[in-house]
Each structure stands twice: as C-alpha cells, then as structure tokens.
Amino acid sequence: MNWPELKHPIAITPGDPCGIGPEIIAKAWCTAPEMTQGCFVAGDVGLMRRAMALVQKTPGFPVCEIESPAQALAVPPRCLPVLQAVPVAPNLPWGQLDARAGRLAGEAVLWATRAALRGEIAAVVTAPLHKEALHAAGSPYDQYPGHTELLQAESARHAGVTLAQMPVRMMLANDELRVVLVSIHLSLREALDAITMDQVLETLRITHRALTPLLGRKPRIAVAGVNPHAGEGGLFGREEIEILQPCVSAARAEGIDAQGPFAPDTVFMRARQRADGQREFDAVIAMYHDQGLIPVKYLGVEQGVNITLGLPLIRTSPDHGTAMDLAGQGKADASSLIQAIRMARQRVLAAH
C-alpha cells in the first residue's frame, strides 16, 4: 500500500532499553520501510545504533541523528532517524531489569507526549516498557502503573483539568476484532466494583467518539455481560439487569448504537470479522482486563495493537511486553509494532 505523505511525523519511543523494544523498532525499519517512512525514534541514538547492529544481516540501514521532529520527513528511505530526546544513555545490558532503563523509557514517553500535545508530531507509538523498571526509576515515574496512566496524567496537566475530567480507555485491536476495556490494571475483585453506570456509560461514549471518524459512520458497539450467560435473567448475578441494561438504554438515548448485554462467551465471536469482511459489531465493551484481552491475544498476539482512547493525541502500542528473555538476540518479532504504526497512520489520516 502506498501511504499518503504525513504532514507531521510519527514518534516511536524505544520502550525499556533492556527489552526487545529497540530491536523490534530496528527490525521494523529493515522489513517495512514503506510503513516507517515519516517516522522517527524519540530516544537515544547510541541505543538505536546497537539495536540496528543487532538485527541487520547486512549493513544497509544507517541510524542518523536528527535535531527536530520535522527533519524526519526529509530523511531518505533506508535510514532510521533518531532524535536524542533523553540524556545520553549508558550501555545497558540486554535482558536485565534496571532502574536506569526504566527512567530512560519514562523520559522518552514524556518527551513524545509533550511533543504531541504541542502539535509537533502526529502520533506516538510506544514500544513496550517494563512496569517494574519504571517504578524502580523513582519519581515521577513510580506513580504510574504504565504508559496509559502516564499519558493520561500529562495530557490532563496540559489541558489544565483533573484526571477525572480526562477519562481514557484501552482498546485492543487487530484486523479481526476490537475490544475496549471498562477497567485496566485492577485486581479482579476491584474490577468488579468498577462496573458502575458511570464507568460503563463513559466507556461507550469514548468508544463511539473514537471510532466514528475512523469508520465514517456510527460504530455498532456490543456490551459484554459480566456473569455467565449474561446473568441468565438474574439467576447468576444482577449486574446485567441493574447496571448494564440501563447503560445501553442511556447510550442509545444519546444516539450511540449500543446493544446488549450479551453472553460474554459468544459476543466476541459475533464481533469478529468474517472471511467475507463483514462483522456483526465494530467493537465489544469488555467488563475487565482479561475478559477483553484473552480473545484478542488468542487471535494472534503478534497482530494485536493497544490503542489509548480519550486522549487529545493518537497513541498506539504493540500488544506484548518487553520479553526480557529474548532481548539482545535479534529474534523478536516486529509484527505487532508494525501493526501499531499502521493503525497510528490510519488514525492520523482519519483525523484529517
């Protein structure tokens, strides 16, 4: 596919320098140069040179340092542009948890988020960071469980609003299925308490707003039940009757094409794109983290993309972790990162 030229570049953050993030970025440039054209890495030049040397079978993709995001648009093909967005990094060991790596990962994300909020870049694609290393980095990164919370907090600060005034949701997507989560990183017991009218209705609103420009029409949104058989009329739980059905009715009254709640063991199959390209629903609202992630990852973790909805910027990420056991070997699969870049491009084009 020949992609239209970007008006502003897309920034890719390297994730944890000790994980597979840097090498899958380098591999993406080597294997999908048409997808990475107009993108650049916001991170450390030396780190990316190490990563490129790791994955290149024959030299041919030099790493060049740029001084501003705009310069990325003029970089010739078969060249990986890197902006030194963080202090020069030490030579960190592959595959080891290191607080210095956590800080570098956090600083890169913070730089890219601020650049996106200033309008200097079109989107942010984040390679995986290690939550434990991020926490070990200390303040301010130890207050964020992961990317999503850091992006939300910085966006709220930029807009001068509270976190509650900038609700965000995680959407996991591939070419076959889109799933949006009511809650993210909570224990199952806490996640059940988070299934409230306000939370579910806000999830429906955010999903509707995010997918409408992408699809060019109202998205058809299915709501998954939380109990077996969606409660079976109250026999196996009353959340569907007391919370989810009223949420669907309220959403429909606002013009949102919401349906359900449906039995959670079949609704994802109904929303999956069929061989003929059709699907019954454009997205499913899942009630908690694993309910939504299991079906998406079962379809292929190498194709899954994490998209943050509700932010005043576009952010995507591969749907996998840092894979410390693979880091430094040049064996990691870049497919999910390439899909994340593709979906970021799609959303940039849909926004314009």
pLDDT digits (tens, 9 = 90+) for 230-281: 878 888 889 999 999 999 999 999 999 999 999 999 999 999 988 888 899 9
pLDDT digits (tens, 9 = 90+) for 107-160: 999 999 999 999 999 999 999 999 999 999 999 998 988 888 899 999 999 999
Q: pLDDT value at position 196?
A: 96
Q: pLDDT value at position 1?
A: 56
**Could you say which DSSP state residue 330 is in?**
T
Query: Average pLDDT in the 301-313 region?
Result: 88
DSSP string, 67-118: SSGGGGGGPPSS-EEEEE-SSPPP-PPTT---HHHHHHHHHHHHHHHHHHHT
pLDDT digits (tens, 9 = 90+) for 48-70: 999 999 998 666 789 999 999 99
Q: pLDDT value at position 67?
A: 96
* pLDDT > 60? residue 101: yes
Q: pLDDT value at position 190?
A: 94
* pLDDT > 90? residue 319: no
* pLDDT > 90? residue 225: yes
Confidence of residue 310 (pLDDT cuts 50, 70, 90): very high
The backbone torsions φ and ψ at residue 246, rounded to the nearest 5 degrees and listed phi first, read -60, -35
Rg (CA), the chain: 20
Q: pLDDT value at position 301?
A: 66
Cα–Cα dist 50/246, whole Å? 55
pTM for the complete prediction? 0.91
Confidence of residue 14 (pLDDT cuts 50, 70, 90): very high
Tell me the pLDDT of the chain averaged across its residues. 92
Query: Average pLDDT in the 283-307 region?
Result: 88
Q: pLDDT value at position 5?
A: 79
Nearest residue to 283 (alpha-carbon basis) of 169, 198, 189, 187: 169
Does a cis peptide bond (omega within 30 degrees of 0) precede residue 318? no
Q: pLDDT value at position 304?
A: 83
Query: Average pLDDT in the 302-326 region?
Result: 91
Q: pLDDT value at position 232?
A: 84
Q: pLDDT value at position 10?
A: 97
Please give the domain boundaries of the chain with CATH numbers for all domains: 1-167+320-352 (3.40.718.10), 175-299 (3.40.718.10)
* pLDDT > 60? residue 167: yes
